[in-house]
Structure 1
Amino acid sequence: MCLKRGRTLLQYAISPAVWLGVWQLASMAVGMDLLLPSPMAVAASLWKLAGTPQFWLSALFTLGRVCQGVLGGVALGSALALLTHFTVWGERIFAPAIRVMRATPVVSFILLVYLWVDRATIPAVVAGLMVLPILWGNLTVGLESVDRQLLELARAYRFGRWKTLRLIYLPSLRTHFASGLLNAFGLAWKSGVAAEVICPPALAIGSRIQQAKVALETPELFAWTLVIVALSLGLEGILRRVVHPREERGQ
């Protein structure tokens, strides 16, 4: 058992070790921390940042904004998927608008939302707008692929709308919802941080990235980037365990 765990840890450690080595060699070849800081310089900067309350508050506020946007996007995307599937007028009114939303670049959303809402609210709104069309698309596909024989059986047994939704539609939509949420969360996280960089609030990771760029603090810029990546991977891992608990146990 210990030998197996050791091999597993070694397999996971090989890739980071190789890329850290490449990073170190590239930094030595460049010879300027302003252009490409070494891993040790970035680690020192990260350690220094972690000792300040602003670091934790910035990470917490960014996380809160993105989660607010994700929850809003999930709620609206789910409601619109049901509306466009079960009503003709919902399909005609909302489906074209959602498709346009899906084709619009993130930067355009950020700049447009900046005209309408408070700066601190922009990341949450942008994150929600990124989640909505993805979840709507996945749930729409799921609703269209529900087994017709099960629906006929529900009609034969005179199931009500709520009972049909609970016993037939929701189990069929579980996989589509989970995959859509996982895909949407990564995009929401990146777009939320991008919105903070372009329209920096008072306390946010994006604001600190913007400040580091203006001050030419490249090690700090890399340190905040590592924080973004670490939080994204950690949150996606937690979310994956929540939406796919059986698969995680099987592994």
Structure 2
Amino acid sequence: MKRENQKRDEYLKRAAAIAFALMLWQAAAMALSQRLLLVSPIQVAVRLGSLLLEGSFWRTVLYSFLRIEAGFLLGLFAGAVLAAAAARFSLLEILIWPFMTAVKSVPVASFIILSLIWLGASGLSVFISFLMVLPIVYFNVLEGMKSTDRKLLEMAEVFAIPWGRRMRYLYLPQVKPFLLSACRTALGISWKAGIAAEVIGIPDGSIGERLYEAKIYLDTADLFAWTLVIVLLSALFEKLFLWGMKKGFARLESA
């Protein structure tokens, strides 16, 4: 009961914070009184409502959503697999290190421009999202595996416990918080990088194209409405994905 009350209080505090932010936004829009520079939340809500009635809106959302999340999932899978392999073979970790460091450090704009030369616009958001997610997952999972109790690993070595069982019963519980944290960070970054790639590459039928058009036509209401769509999509998928991961970990631990 106490836990439920705490959750309810937390939701109420967040709702109050959102309400305060909206009121501040509305006050700023009214004080500025320049729709070209800052539209009010009411105007954004009206524009978003009209977008929801357009058939092209849902096709645009689906286009960007599928590509960005495909890049995220590919980066998650590749990063986790490479981290597991690097944890087992130290030579592989040394060989991978310069590539992961470069991907983590090079500005995303550089990758976007290179990717436009290599891939064209249609696959751009998939590749950029993949690149941004890969090092985050890799370094977090590798750190989690390295922090596993050495005595337990030595015992597993003495008793010749198969690698698969070691992964499930020794590494997985240790890696879990690192992987969840990595996914929480990577999900947001994948959307930021993926949409940025679309704005630069302007693939047909993407959210990035709609943002670019809003800039060209100085349509601030459209810009804010599509930005709100991006925030909502990112937050919703993050909640669902992390919930699914936690359920999956719970099943593995109870099996």
TM over 0.5: yes
In 1: Cα distance, 2:170 partner to 2:199 partner: 44
In 1: Cα distance, 2:81 partner to 2:97 partner: 12
Q: CA 1:8/1:88 → structure 2, altered by over 3 Å: closer, same or farther?
A: closer
In 2: Cα distance, 1:84 partner to 1:155 partner: 18
Aligned to 2:228: 226
In 2: Cα distance, 1:172 partner to 1:13 partner: 34
In 2: Cα distance, 1:9 partner to 1:141 partner: 33
1:194-248 deviation digits (Å, cap 9, x = unpaired): 11111111111111111111111111111101111111121222223223359xx
In 2: Cα distance, 1:13 partner to 1:143 partner: 38
- For residue 91 of structure 1, report the CA deviation from its aligned partner: 2.2
The alignment's TM-score, normalised by the length of structure 1, stands at: 0.90
Unaligned runs of 5+ in 1: 247-251
Q: CA 1:6/1:167 → structure 2, altered by over 3 Å: closer, same or farther?
A: closer
Unaligned runs of 5+ in 2: 249-255
Larger CA deviation: 85-94 vs 178-187: 85-94
Aligned ranges 1:64-103 → 2 under 5 Å: 64-103=66-105
Aligned to 2:238: 236
Larger CA deviation: 94-103 vs 170-179: 170-179
The alignment's TM-score, normalised by the length of structure 2, stands at: 0.89
Aligned ranges 1:32-111 → 2 under 5 Å: 32-111=34-113
Q: CA 1:96/1:46 → structure 2, altered by over 3 Å: closer, same or farther?
A: same
1:96-141 deviation digits (Å, cap 9, x = unpaired): 1101111111111111111100311000100000010000100111
Contact 1:85–1:143 (CA<8 Å) still a contact in 2? yes
- For residue 163 of structure 1, report the CA deviation from its aligned partner: 2.6
Aligned to 1:31: 33
Q: CA 1:12/1:84 → structure 2, altered by over 3 Å: closer, same or farther?
A: closer
Q: % of aligned pairs identical? A: 36
Contact 1:84–1:95 (CA<8 Å) still a contact in 2? no
What amino acid does structure 1 have at the position aligned with 2:186? A
What amino acid does structure 1 have at the position aligned with 2:92? G
1:13 equivalent among 12, 15, 30 = 15
Question: How many residues of Structure 1 are paired with residues of Structure 2 in the alignment?
Answer: 245
In 2: Cα distance, 1:239 partner to 1:161 partner: 27
The answer as to 2:103 corresponding to 1:130 is no
Instruction: Name the SS of the counterpart of 2:123 in structure 1.
Output: helix
Aligned to 1:22: 24
Instruction: Name the SS of the counterpart of 1:118 in structure 2.
Output: coil
In 2: Cα distance, 1:101 partner to 1:26 partner: 39
What amino acid does structure 2 have at the position aligned with 1:118? G
